[in-house]
Structure 1
Amino acid sequence: MKRLYLPLILFFLMTLEGVALELLPAKLVINNSWIIPHWVFMFLVLIAVYYDLESSHFSVIYGVIFGLLIDIVYTGVLGVYMFSYAFSISIIYGLKKMIHANIYGVLFLGLIGTVLTDISINFIYTVVGMTDMGWGNYFLYRLFPTILANLLFLIVLYPLITKQLVEWRREQINRNRIL
């Protein structure tokens, strides 16, 4: 049963992403800015840092699966989020070895991951012709608000789930030793 907790949390976050902007007060949403919630990705960053072992890549696998689900449910082009999440989480997975696993390191990894994810999504959408926003406007009106909103979400999520992920990681290590 415990193996289902991570996918259930990711599924819950994926469904909340669809209504995230409606949950925010109207005063927080500025007229010209676009805030794109990447809550699944923020949780994947925490999984990469606090749950994945050296030999396991659950965060990358979940990135592919839930990226594809987000593509199916919310977008018109399959593979954009799947590729972006898997690509960014793979880089985060490699960088986590050089950065301490504390709130500052996680925020830094979340920042890098959000930038990589959102830029790659926008680049792919620009290539296939689904968006024509100039890069200057993109950085000002979409990327910067998206980074701020997702890092704020990561700050809220961090104390709620980190200890549980570490405990589940310990159980995973003990389960591997028994096998």
Structure 2
Amino acid sequence: MNEQWKVKVFAPLLIFFGFLMDGLLSGVFSEQLYGGTGVMVPRLIVLIFILMSFYLPRNKMILYAVIFGLLYDSYYVGILGIYVAAFPLIVYITEKLKRVLNPNPIVVGMMVIINLSLLEFILYEFYKVLSFTTLDTSTFMASRLGPTLLLNLVFFILVFYPLKKMILKMIEN
């Protein structure tokens, strides 16, 4: 009972913290993140989803991904649907790959690279179809994908062990 309570309360709070930190970092460091030649987008919520997908049940994580995808869409984007579809896809891919992979830092780091690349390409194609962007693919990869992956890998290195310990503490009896 206590374990279920911890998971039901602290998992959404941890995801919500990542949701808020994405916006806070974007707002506070907007000149550094969005100025210059590249665009770096913090995706802490994706890091949290990836790591939590290794330890929590798939159905629960997909539900959280849909709920927070809807929140992310309505609060940050204004177009409903893209993150509602992308976040559960990330959780699903991570859950399928966790069956054959051990959640050590290198594997989780590679999952972060794969999932963030997938997310950014989905967003790029979505915005390209809607004519919200005129970037070609090579410019997108150089000016947005590369810097975003680099920023989020730095975040991953900083938060992996504390986040993993919090998640393990949350699910232990």
CA offset at residue 154 of structure 1? Answer: 1.4
CA offset at residue 28 of structure 1? Answer: 6.9
Report SS of the residue matched to 1:57: helix
Segments of 4+ moved more than 6 angstroms? none
Matched, 1:102 2:107: no
CA offset at residue 120 of structure 1? Answer: 0.7
| Residues 58-67 or 24-33, more deviating | 24-33
How many residues end up aligned between the 2 structures?
Answer: 168
After superposition, give the CA deviation of every residue in 1:114-143 in whole Å (9 maximum; x if it has no partner).
011111111111112222211111000000
Counterparts of 1:73-84 in structure 2, within 5 Å, are: 73-84=75-86
Q: Which amino acid aligns with 1:17?
A: D
Q: Which amino acid aligns with 2:93?
A: I
Matched, 1:58 2:63: no
> What's the TM-score once normalised by structure 1's chain length?
0.85
> What's the TM-score once normalised by structure 2's chain length?
0.88
Q: Which amino acid aligns with 2:121?
A: I
Cα distance in structure 2, aligned partners of 1:79 and 1:143: 21
Decide whether the 8 Å contact of 2:33 with 2:39 is kept in 1.
Answer: no
Q: Which one of 38, 41, 59 corresponds to residue 36 of structure 1?
A: 41
Decide whether the 8 Å contact of 1:32 with 1:141 is kept in 2.
Answer: yes
Q: Which one of 58, 68, 71 corresponds to residue 69 of structure 1?
A: 71
In the alignment, which residue of structure 2 is the partner of 1:129? Answer: 131
Percent identity of the aligned residues? Answer: 26
Cα distance in structure 2, aligned partners of 1:13 and 1:62: 13
Decide whether the 8 Å contact of 1:92 with 1:109 is kept in 2.
Answer: yes
Q: Which amino acid aligns with 1:117?
A: L
After superposition, give the CA deviation of every residue in 1:61-110 in whole Å (9 maximum; x if it has no partner).
21111111010001121111111111122111111112211111110111
CA RMSD of aligned residues (A): 1.9
In the alignment, which residue of structure 2 is the partner of 1:111? Answer: 113
For structure 2, the residue ranges without an aligned partner over 5 or more in a row are none
Higher helix proportion: 2
Give the structure, 1 or 2, with the largest relative contact order (CA under 8 Å, sep 6 or more).
2
